Structure 1
Amino acid sequence: MKLSESTTTFLSTYKLFEEDEIQQVQLQHRLDLVKEFGIKRGMSILEIGCGQGDTTVALADAVGEAGKVIGIDIASRNYGAPLTLGQATDLIKKTKLGERITFNFEMDFETFDSNEVFDIAVLSHSSWYFKRPEDLFRYFKRLRRVAKRICFAEWDIDFRHITQRAHFCAASILALYSTFVNNDGNIQNLYHKVQIRELLKKANFHIEKQCTINAMYLQDVKWEKSYANSIRDEFTKSPLTIQSMVNGYYELMNTSNDNEQSLYVQGDKTL
């Protein structure tokens, strides 16, 4: 795919991901997200679930030299592939962006100790890691005390094109896998955008802006479909009713056409 002008400018400015075409595509999506979030120069940002820094670098670019981004993630530096979180973020720290970013791994937000009130807290593609809605709600409530706003982004399971069905089915399979077979997957649960907005409102946030970001070009559908197919036999450990349901998802996922595309992404900004 052709990269946007903002993506090529980022690549040439920071000399990051120059040889990594997969990461360049992911970067383009994160730059689009941050543009929708309305991040300004000089802001202080708290990012929940920073991972390998995909969104972090876009945030750091947006806040400029006078701003800062604090990224926290419950995973360890040794987690992740093909680069671990530690390897990926060490590369980021070596760039000009590194001075604006602090990464904290093996840190649960509920134990994060800070007296600062951040301009914005960002949760980007991290909500599916929360097994239970009450866990996510507890984060939202605590964020109400430490951030003026929340900017939230996640895959929109309300798919609109048949080409997105495989991604929806793969994500559903992986969520069921985490619940009924092995509880160590990246996808623990799927949340509909209406449920997310209800949880935000319950935590006393007001939804200021809602948006939909076209992320159909991202590679995630291929990755998640491949992983879902690799674990199919393990569902024999699950209850028969779950096996029946999952088989239906597999049939739908694997009979999709060749033009499979990723889901859209929902975005919400609060006051």
Structure 2
Amino acid sequence: MSLLLPFPRATAPLTLDDLDGIAKIYPHGEPDHLKIVRPQIEQRASLIKTWGIKPGEKVLEIGCGQGDCTVVLATAVGDGGSVTALDPASLDYGSPYTLGQAQAYLKASSVGPRITFVQADPIAFLAQTTERYTTAVLAQCSWYFASPQVWSDILAALLQRVDRVCVSEYALSAGDPRAAAHVLATFAQAALEVHKDGGKSTSNVRTVFSPARLKSAAISTGLKVESEILMRPPEGMLDGKWEVGWVLSAGFAKEIDDHVKDEREKAVVIAARDSVQAAVELLKAKDEKVATMDIWVATFVKEA
């Protein structure tokens, strides 16, 4: 892995429309990596514009990971705002850069003074903090939760600390037919994950929620939907390619053998994997590549 390169100092304040400028202060070691980062930043900026996050806001981001949404949030809130970016994962977790490396890099950037990174369980953090926030953001992180109850518990805790909750998650739909393989790969991973301990898993898909289930749980905790849309990811966003690649890898096949002992249950996971392979072969026949599935974007506020 390349060392993180020094980021260019901004000569003027960044805005959400300066996607290249934001991408250049996100960690990347080699020039080609910018091609991967740029669509991610574009998608995060689209989220934040949809949610209407304004300068001066005090944002709590749950599931910040390496900070691709954090850096865009910090741009949006400006010098008068702040982002508390929370993630329970080990600082050694992540690739090509660990959470610790990426977060340290962003802290040293031009928007770093606006960011506070916290390594903590979200529910434990919300139980002990006395801070109030204008907005909580959960951007494509719910599938990392160990169980559906974690999602409900986080929302219940947020009710006491925020004015609104902004959520995005993969929608399990393929408005672009090239994304069908990504949807199938998600269910293949989910079929394997139910045979693991969710609290110890390090997979990208640990608990699958549909938008309907996320929304139902939010309403049950006392929130109401203020707005919701489906968003098509930018061309070049590689999440679908990465997830499909993992499902078709030898490592995934080994995990099936390691974790699924019942032959009928194993047949289900293998069939799910085979369906991903079949979808990829159809794309290859048309000289097309895997795309990333739709993203559900919603804003919730407290019931009056």
Could you tell me the TM-score, scaled by structure 1's length?
A: 0.92
Distance in 2, Cα, partners of 1:161 & 1:26: 18
**Any stretches of 5+ residues in structure 2 without a counterpart?**
1-15
Q: Which residue number corresponds to residue 42 of structure 1? A: 56
Q: Which residue number corresponds to residue 219 of structure 1? A: 238
Provide the identity percentage.
27
- The answer as to 2:22 corresponding to 1:10 is yes
Could you tell me the TM-score, scaled by structure 2's length?
A: 0.82
The alpha carbon displacement at 1:158 in A equals 2.6
Alignment of 1:243-258 (within 5 A): 243-256=266-279, 257-258=283-284
Distance in 1, Cα, partners of 2:239 & 2:77: 27
Q: Which residue number corresponds to residue 68 of structure 1? A: 82
For 1:96, give the aligned amino acid. Answer: S
Equivalent pair of 1:158/1:192 in contact (CA under 8 Å)? no
Distance in 2, Cα, partners of 1:129 & 1:36: 23
For 2:273, give the aligned amino acid. Answer: Y
- The answer as to 2:161 corresponding to 1:131 is no
Distance in 2, Cα, partners of 1:11 & 1:130: 27
Show CA shifts across 1:87-140 (max 9, x none): 1111111111100000012x0012113211100000001100113211210110
Q: 1:207 aligns with which of 212, 220, 225?
A: 225
For 1:10, give the aligned amino acid. Answer: I
Q: 1:150 to 1:229 in 2, by over 3 A?
A: same
- The answer as to 2:55 corresponding to 1:25 is no
Show CA shifts across 1:178-220 (max 9, x none): 2215733121011110111111111111110101111163101
Q: How many residues align?
A: 266
For 1:115, give the aligned amino acid. Answer: T
Q: 1:56 aligns with which of 66, 70, 83?
A: 70
The 4+ residue runs of structure 1 with deviation greater than 4 A are 14-18
Distance in 1, Cα, partners of 2:134 & 2:150: 23
* Two-structure CA RMSD over aligned residues (Å): 1.9
Q: Which residue number corresponds to residue 111 of structure 2? A: 97
Q: Which residue number corresponds to residue 299 of structure 2? A: 269
**Any stretches of 5+ residues in structure 1 without a counterpart?**
none
Show CA shifts across 1:200-244 (max 9, x none): 111111110101111163101111111112212331341222222
Equivalent pair of 2:57/2:134 in contact (CA under 8 Å)? yes
